[in-house]
Each structure stands twice: as structure tokens, then as C-alpha cells.
Amino acid sequence: MTLDVGVLGYRFMGKAHANALSRLSMFFPAAPAVNKDVIVGRDADALADAAEELGFDRTATDWRDVVDEVDVFYNLGPNHVHAEPSIAALEAGTPTFCEKPLAPALDTAEEMAEAADAAGVPAGTAFNYRFVPAIQYAKNLVEAGELGEIHHFRGQYLQDWLVDPEAPWSWRNDEELAGSGALGDLGAHTVDLARFLLGDAAGEISRVSGHLRTFHDERPVEGEDGTRPVTVDDAYSAQVEFESGAMGTLEASRVANGHKNAHTIAIEGSKGALKFDLERLNELQLLTEGDRGFQRVLVTDEDDPYVEHWWPPGHVLGWEHTFVHENYEFLSAVAEGGDADPSFADGLAAQQVLDAVERSDERGEWVAVE
């Protein structure tokens, strides 16, 4: 059986997933066969170029003509177009994969999760960092109790592409289109990793104390005179408490000078600790009971998660490989009739935390995650 895939969106994420789909059969022979059937967007000329570049058979300028024709629908568009096409695809019985954050706002994310529950087909949220081999290795350590009782979680996601006040305005700077700024764009990943890594060891994030800040209130519009207002955050930070009593700190910024894509995770427990840095994604810094200091673990051995599909030990993987792993897991769920993981429910759970951070900032006090 070959799965015909339809993809809404052909820029950054469209390229990342098209690249992954092209490599599935070569490196994951057990993966379901896929056909890059149709790519969807508004600009017919740009779509034609994208279809040729990314290897799609045809184009469509209206997702409504696609969602009930394909075997799998990928929604990789901007945040404000996540809900309607995804819900329509699910109502048509089409397995659906949606970029994060699931929606610009919590109420919309709830509608999407409800549609996924009612559809009874795989519905996946795009949290690709779950599929870094070192992150999978770290999860196994936590689940095995190697770190003991979890005391602390620290997550930072720092970028600097908006440091310059003359950096042009984009949809990511608009609340109606994006929902939030660094909080949703970057913080969604960190929240999901906190949930994924700690799981039963610490439970869900139960309450938060958050702070959001916009450093540049307006930005120039590329190719035009004048500026447009920035209505989302440039940065956020939050203190969090987990159900177990473990404590955590979360932070993200798109104006953190000197940082390109620095997503770092630290977990400390009663028996050990670990540290991860996305910019060194093949490594973990690990401290286990009895060690005198952190040891560098290179997660590239054949028996490490996903690595048997790639290169000999020490031949490191990169950012793009996370999408291959992510697509393998999602499409396998589609072919086998299983549940997507991470699911729309996971996307909603992350959105509930993001919403709580915003509410906390507005009120200036701790709030419960609801």
C-alpha cells in the first residue's frame, strides 16, 4: 500500500518534511511507502516551483479540494490556518499531522483535539525534538530511575533573529496570526519535552508564574515604507511546578544575542542529572550515582534509538534527521491504524501550559494550568 500525502505549506517546514519523506524508504525500509501527491498554497506560480523542487506530483490552491482525496494530510501552514483545514481533514476521515503550536489560542486547540477524538484516525502534533536520539536516550534514563526522584527541570530556547529592531515584520509578530511569539513558537517545544521526558516521574505541570516581554513594539515591512506593530512577545520566562512537587524554569527568546538555535534541557534528581543542548544534539552530559562529575555520552551507537538506521558509531546525525524519525513514527501509525504520538491531545496539553503562562503574566500571580 502506498500512502498519497497532501501537504499544506511549502516553505521552511514544507521543505523539512518533503526532505524527510524522500529519505524514508532508503533508511527505514519498514516504513510505509509514500507518494508526495499534492502540495497546497495560495500562489500558483510559487506552488509550481515548489512542486518541482520538492518532488510533488501536482498542486492545489484550495485545501478543500485536497483533504478528502489524500490518504494523509499535513498542515504545515502558519498558526492561524491550523484549525479549519485540520478539522476538515479529520471530519473527512483523513489522518492529519499539524505543526506546533496546535493553534493560536487554547479554545481553538480544544476544538481541534475534540475533532481528533471524534475522527478516530491518527492525528499528530509536530514536536520533532522528541525524536532526537539523545532525547530518547534521556527519557529511557528517567524512566529507569537512573536520576532518582526528580527535583528540577530547566528548559531554555534562545534565538537572536529578532535582535535587530530593523528586522522585518512577519506573521510571527502578529497575535491574530501567530497567537503568541517566543512563547508559542519556541516555548511549545520546551513544554512538550518537559512532559515527554518527565512523564510519570514528575507528572504534568500543575501551576505556573509567567512573564512576557516585547522589546520592539513595531517593525518595518519588507518592500514597503512604514512599520507594523508587534503584538506578540519577544521573550518569556516562567517558573513551574509539577504534580510531583518538582520545580522548573522555562525560558525562550528571539532576541537573545549570540544564540542561533540554543535549545537546552537540564534535569536534576536525587541520584543523578543530565544536560542536553540542541546545538550538540548527538550528546548528553550525564551524572549518575557515584560519579564525581558530568560525563559526555555520545549517542551514536547502533543500539541507541533510531541510530541503527543511519551511519556507523560516531558518524553524527543532524537536525533534519529528527523529521525523518518523526515521519516514520507518524506514517507507521497511519499504516497500522495506531495512535499518533505525539497526538493532538499532546498538542492541547502543551497549549494549556502556554495559556497559563499568558494568564499569569496578565494577572501578575501564580495560576493553575487548566
**What is the pLDDT tens value at each position of the chain, 370 positions in all?**
899 999 999 999 999 999 999 999 999 999 999 999 999 999 999 999 999 999 999 999 999 999 999 999 999 999 999 999 999 999 999 999 999 999 999 999 999 999 999 999 999 999 999 999 999 999 999 999 999 999 999 999 999 999 999 999 999 999 999 999 999 999 999 999 999 999 999 999 999 999 999 999 999 999 899 999 999 999 999 999 999 999 999 999 999 999 999 999 999 999 999 999 999 999 999 999 989 999 999 999 999 999 999 999 999 999 999 999 999 999 999 999 999 999 999 999 999 999 999 999 999 999 999 9
Query: Are 160 and 104 found together in one domain?
Result: no
Cell 489524500 belongs to 70
Query: Are 158 and 86 found together in one domain?
Result: no
Alpha-carbon distance 255 to 234, whole Å? 7
User: What's the domain count of the chain?
Assistant: 2
Residue 82, burial from CB neighbour count under 10 angstroms (0-12, 13-18, 19+): buried
Cα angle: 291, vertex 292, 298; to 5 degrees: 60
| Helix extents (H) in 98-246 | 106-119, 133-143, 175-178, 182-185, 187-202
Last residue of a domain, one of 108, 128, 148: 128
pTM: 0.97
Last residue of a domain, one of 85, 101, 128: 128
Query: Are 354 and 219 found together in one domain?
Result: yes
Query: Are 163 and 247 found together in one domain?
Result: yes
The answer to whether position 216 is within a domain reads yes
Cell 541503527 belongs to 308
The answer to whether position 113 is within a domain reads yes
Cβ pair 78, 177 in contact under 8 A: yes
Range of the domain at 213: 130-314+343-363
